Homo-oligomer: A and B are copies of this chain.
Amino acid sequence: CVPFVAAAQSGGAASVTFYGLIDVNLNQERAGGDRRTGVDHGELKGSRWGFRGREDLGSGLAAVFTLEGGFDPTVGGSEQGGRLFGRQSYVGLEGGFGRVTLGRQYSPAFVALDPLDATGSADRSAGLLTRKAGGVDPAYEVRFDNMVKYRSPEFAGFSADAGYWLGERGGSRGDARREGDGWGIAGLYRSGVVEAALVTQTVWRDATGGRVRTDGLGLAYDFGPVRAFAAATRDRESGSVGRGRARTWDVGAELRLPGPNTLALSYARRDESHDRAAEDAHGWSAYFLHDLSKRTTLYAAYSTLTNDGRANYALGNLRPDRGDDPSVVMAGVRHRF
């Protein structure tokens, strides 16, 4: 066996870092009369393993890459449809001009809005109504293939993140050329106690020009022992995709408790309209975190959604019937390496 010793990153020309995160919990889900006891994973953060590297090219220029795969430790398989490096997989250059990267990458909307939800990427939090399609399809997805991305340098707290991505078409003509393509821009502001973001993102969903668009904004304010969060998004279908509209918003707070404990609360609501299947829901989540170290955290959490009569949004594995309200209670551990 060949250990990788934990050491300060080389001051030299190039370095590669191996890292990861494993998050497993015991939980019970309910929805209508159904009940499911499970060992699941990736609640606070998706379980991952990866390599990231950086080579100093001189004159402030550097080559950078990230290869990061998601996996399910409860069964040992890759996530993201079995992809090896399905979470992030890109290479690029950065320097005084900013950063240009190519490959499978986070969308500008995700980079900007995810940190502005108190229960962030948590897998079964109510806040995920922002990214869920009921009858209306959001353009707010976490990551896209074939993306060219530009990140600006930060200037007086302001920065921008912009990406264009290409669908996996064969050769084609006319509208079909844009099927699966998309673009997004995020404006970010960070300064002292305030963090804010404004985003727009569009995806061409079909070969006849139908597309979906998500606009969003988010804000976090740090009051000291409490950090408050608010975010809202608007989804709009157009063309052959339909004429659906949706608005979501969520508010939340992160409370730093005595000792190495944190409580994160969020409430979210999704209202769909202009669509036959318009599905509305709201819900809330509470996550209690106890840090054993910087790397290792125990947690317990509860989440529930209230579906209106037409809606069947899920939390986790159970597929509720229309109007049934899913909930989940869980306890687990997250370990970073």
Contact = CB atoms under 8 A, between A and B. Distances in A.
Contacts of A15: 2-6
A148 B76 contact: no
A319 B172 CA distance: 11
A75 interface: yes
Interface string A1-21: 111111111101111111110
A156 B248 CA distance: 61
Given A2-B4, A69-B76, A292 B166 contact: no
Contacts of A14: 2, 6, 295, 337
A152 to B, nearest CB: 20
Nearest to A58: B293
A262 interface: no
Query: What 7 A-B pairs come out closest when comparing CB atoms?
Result: A34-B171, A1-B19, A39-B146, A76-B89, A22-B91, A36-B171, A77-B83
Interface of A: 1-10, 12-20, 22-26, 29, 31, 33-39, 41, 49, 51, 53, 55, 57-58, 61, 63, 65, 67, 69, 71, 73-78, 80-93, 102-104, 145-148, 165-166, 168-173, 177, 292-293, 295-296, 317-319, 332-333, 335-337
